[in-house]
Amino acid sequence: MGRQKTKMSIPNDTTRRRIFLKRKACLLKKVSELTLLCDVPACVLVAAPCDTNPVIWPSAFDARTMIARFRDLPTSSTTSRDKRALDQEGFLSREIARLKEQLGRVERKNREAEAKAALMRCLQGEVVVGADMVEVGSLVEGKAREVAERIERLNGLVFLKKPVAEEVAVAPMTKVEEEWMMHNNFSSSYEDLIALINQIGS
């Protein structure tokens, strides 16, 4: 059973005010814990339509000091105060871009599923025309490229794993054998024979 989408809006004014006061207290508590546990300065400013005066924590003086320090940070370095700053417009733009990307992925999956279904109909003898034919052609071309790339990779692996022939190791001749071969003019023939054996082995 799927989870139901949580409704964030609270239409009733009394309920909304009660939940606001409860969540505000939780927020102030969490920020206080953050400053104590992590030893970092933090301030909170909450201005609500139901409150005549905004809530400032820990105090107005400390909040002004921290905001001034924040504004004094450089705006062009890697530690820029604007590096991760996000206003409502920026947040909405980022969410729109993310949703567009997600929509594009879903549309690509849908087109691929439709093309596969059309291809199955073709294999069963059904005539496919129009946009379905174009999708089937694109799908077949894509699969053909994947197969060709796979074959190329496998051929490369086979080439890398092919054993390299080692040269034939020949024991060195003794002095008597060298003198006998020099006397009978066999030195060049012996060298040619060794080279031929190594060539056959490679």
Q: What is the pLDDT of residue 65?
A: 93
Q: Give the per-residue pLDDT at 191.
A: 57
User: Among 66-80, 107-121, 126-140, 164-178, whose mean pLDDT is lowest?
Assistant: 164-178
Q: How far is CA 51 from CA 43, 46, 57, 75, 112, in A?
A: 19, 9, 15, 34, 55
Beta bridge mates, 55: 46
- Selected residue with higher pLDDT from 18 and 127: 18
Q: Where are the alpha helices (DSSP H) in the chain?
A: 13-38, 60-71, 88-123, 131-161, 175-183, 187-201
65-73 long-range contacts, CB within 8 A, separation 24+: 66/41, 66/42, 67/43, 69/41
pLDDT above 80 (res 177): no
Residues in the chain: 202
Domains and CATH numbers, the chain: 13-75 (3.40.1810.10), 89-161 (no CATH), 164-202 (no CATH)
- The structure tokens listed for 162 are 């092919």
DSSP annotation of 172 reads: P
pLDDT, tens digit, 9 for 90 and up, residues 4-33: 666 667 788 888 888 888 999 999 999 999
Q: What percent of the chain has pLDDT over 90?
A: 23
More confident residue, 111 or 202: 111
Q: What is the pLDDT of residues 35-89, one digit of tens each?
A: 999 999 999 999 887 777 889 999 999 999 998 988 887 766 555 566 667 777 8
Average pLDDT (131-158) is 80
Mean pLDDT along residues 144-169: 69
